[in-house]
Structure 1
Amino acid sequence: MTEFSGKVAAITGGASGIGLAIARKLVALGGSVVLGDIDDEKLENAATELGGNALTVRCDTSDLASVEAFAEAAFGWQGRVDLLLNNAGVGGVRGKLWEVDPEAARAHFDVNFWGVWNGCRTFAPRMIAQEHSSAIYNTGSENSFFCAVPQTAAYIAAKHAVLGMTESFREDLPEHVHAGLIIPGWVFTPLGEERFMKFGMDVADYAEIVVPQLLANERFVVSHSYNTVRVNERIDALNAAYEQYASRQDGDEAHDVRTVLAALTQKRS
């Protein structure tokens, strides 16, 4: 997709923050949006703001049945969905890992991981059946690649999991349905306390950066350039470990899963 006029996006967590900012931009580009959220008041405000270009639906992404109802409403509205943003998320459970209530961590995963899974599971078959080009994007985080905020193990683990799930999911899809990962850095949203979040990037500025990437079907949708410093800190340490203890040598591809599977597949064909 290179433009959005006449197209429809479904966005979970769409009544505030990044979801609403992207919705505003897509509507400005001539598109329509279906916004799912658990906050009735924010849904009502979004509907008032965006008017006939938006359909709002109460959706709890941690509940598969609720996501299925959201999908039914989205496809039933204009008969198509061209872009799905599995964007709904909650802030992390704070504290040292051994001090965090395991049930609170599981509840966190229900939204930040399983909510994304539910969206992919529910929308993918319908978008495949449409046959025209479409895209599914999952909202990860800079925390999908490094630990930006200390003592948020559940949040960081969930965002790492969304990265891995998205990379696997994209290989399951046919060519006409793209999948990618949105990687927000620090953006001023309601995800955390305002006294802290206010130092993040303005959400409207963020939408201006990322929407062109969404419409270009980029694999990774990026924004905060300093993230590369943090990402490279991890990659450099990883490469150093391999160089010292498991450096490349002739024939080492013999135990590479992708190489072996490709060879076996070629033999069978």
Structure 2
Amino acid sequence: MSDWLPASAVITGGASGIGLAVARELSERGVRVMLADLPGASLDEAAAALDGAVAHPCDVADLAQVEALADAAFAQFGSVELLLNNAGVGGPQGKLWEIDPADARAHFDINYWGVWNGCKAFTPRMVEQDAPSAIYNTASENSFFCAGPRMGTYIAAKHAVLGLTESFREDLPAHVHAGVVIPGWVHTPIGPEQFMSLGMDSGEFAKIIVPQMLGRERFVVSHYSNFRRIRERIDPLLDSYERHASREQGDTAYDVRDVIDALRRQRD
């Protein structure tokens, strides 16, 4: 782990759950924190509970509001070294054909486009900064496997956040890091309290992941039980490739990355 410590951080979904727990850990390390969430008493109380924290109302589904958040953060702090795109909601549950498409699209507006909006609004100014910085996007164990049944909209959105972050990383200069936070089952308000209360305490989760974020890890992880579930998908996938994918001479000619690298070398 590196000794990197951001001077300031912006956390969406910061009024409760993972966002607030991470904010508390950072604040205790002397990081100035701006909490962004929907307006209301929860946001104001969360900011008041942390030394020096600032509250900023924001609906992450609205790009204009996220750009206003970026304006406020840079005006308040002068620079932003850490952005955690964390805001999210539980998705509509049911069999795919029973879900109202409007509900699914509205869910993506928050859980996917909210992350996209954060990256778009903050990145240009973070790129211009001389200081090392990092953007972390909160995905889920559901980015790698289906943790529960009839959660297709939520699971699809979290797969999308993973893909966005992996591609986004390649767009950035070396001093701006991008990573993905992969919570397992954590006690947050995202689902029914009776069920969610059985998950890991959000404070315990934050103590596990914050050192990884400060270490600028690519994948920030917590629950080792996820390892087994990931293998349940990956092992059959690799087996299918072993049994069915062509390995005839010349097959490597179809590797897109190899071709792109070769074209770059020719250009250079």
- Stretches (4+) displaced over 4 A: none
Q: How does 1:24-103 map to 2 (within 5 A)?
A: 24-51=24-51, 53-103=52-102
What CA deviation, in whole Å up to 9, does each residue of 1:24-73 have, x standing for no partner? 0001011110110004111111122114x211000000000000011111
2:23 alignment counterpart: 23
d(CA) in 2 for partners of 1:24, 1:79:
21
| Superposition TM-score, scaled by structure 2 size | 0.97
**Is the CA contact 1:10–1:74 (under 8 Å) kept in the aligned structure 2?**
yes
**Is the CA contact 1:15–1:39 (under 8 Å) kept in the aligned structure 2?**
no
- CA shift for structure 1 position 4: 2.8
Go from structure 1 to structure 2 and tell me whether the alpha carbon gap of 1:134 and 1:70 turns closer, same or farther (over 3 Å shift): same
Aligned-partner SS, 2:11: strand
d(CA) in 1 for partners of 2:207, 2:201:
10
d(CA) in 2 for partners of 1:130, 1:206:
30
**Is the CA contact 1:170–1:180 (under 8 Å) kept in the aligned structure 2?**
yes
**Is the CA contact 1:34–1:55 (under 8 Å) kept in the aligned structure 2?**
yes
What CA deviation, in whole Å up to 9, does each residue of 1:2-41 have, x standing for no partner? 2437x10000001100000000000101111011000411
d(CA) in 2 for partners of 1:162, 1:192:
19
- CA shift for structure 1 position 250: 4.0
2:13 alignment counterpart: 13
d(CA) in 2 for partners of 1:16, 1:39:
13
- Please, which runs of 5 or more residues in structure 2 have no aligned partner? none
d(CA) in 1 for partners of 2:30, 2:265:
46
Task: Choose 103-112 or 235-244, whichever is displaced more.
Answer: 235-244
Amino acid at match of 2:19: G
- CA shift for structure 1 position 249: 4.5
2:149 alignment counterpart: 150
d(CA) in 2 for partners of 1:145, 1:250:
32
Residue 261 (structure 2) pairs with residue 262 (structure 1): yes
Go from structure 1 to structure 2 and tell me whether the alpha carbon gap of 1:167 and 1:214 turns closer, same or farther (over 3 Å shift): same
Paired positions, count: 267
What CA deviation, in whole Å up to 9, does each residue of 1:207-258 have, x standing for no partner? 0000000000000000000101010111001001111101545432100000
- Please, which runs of 5 or more residues in structure 1 have no aligned partner? none
Percentage of pairs with the same residue: 61
d(CA) in 2 for partners of 1:255, 1:247:
11
1:213 alignment counterpart: 212
1:233 alignment counterpart: 232
**Is the CA contact 1:84–1:135 (under 8 Å) kept in the aligned structure 2?**
yes
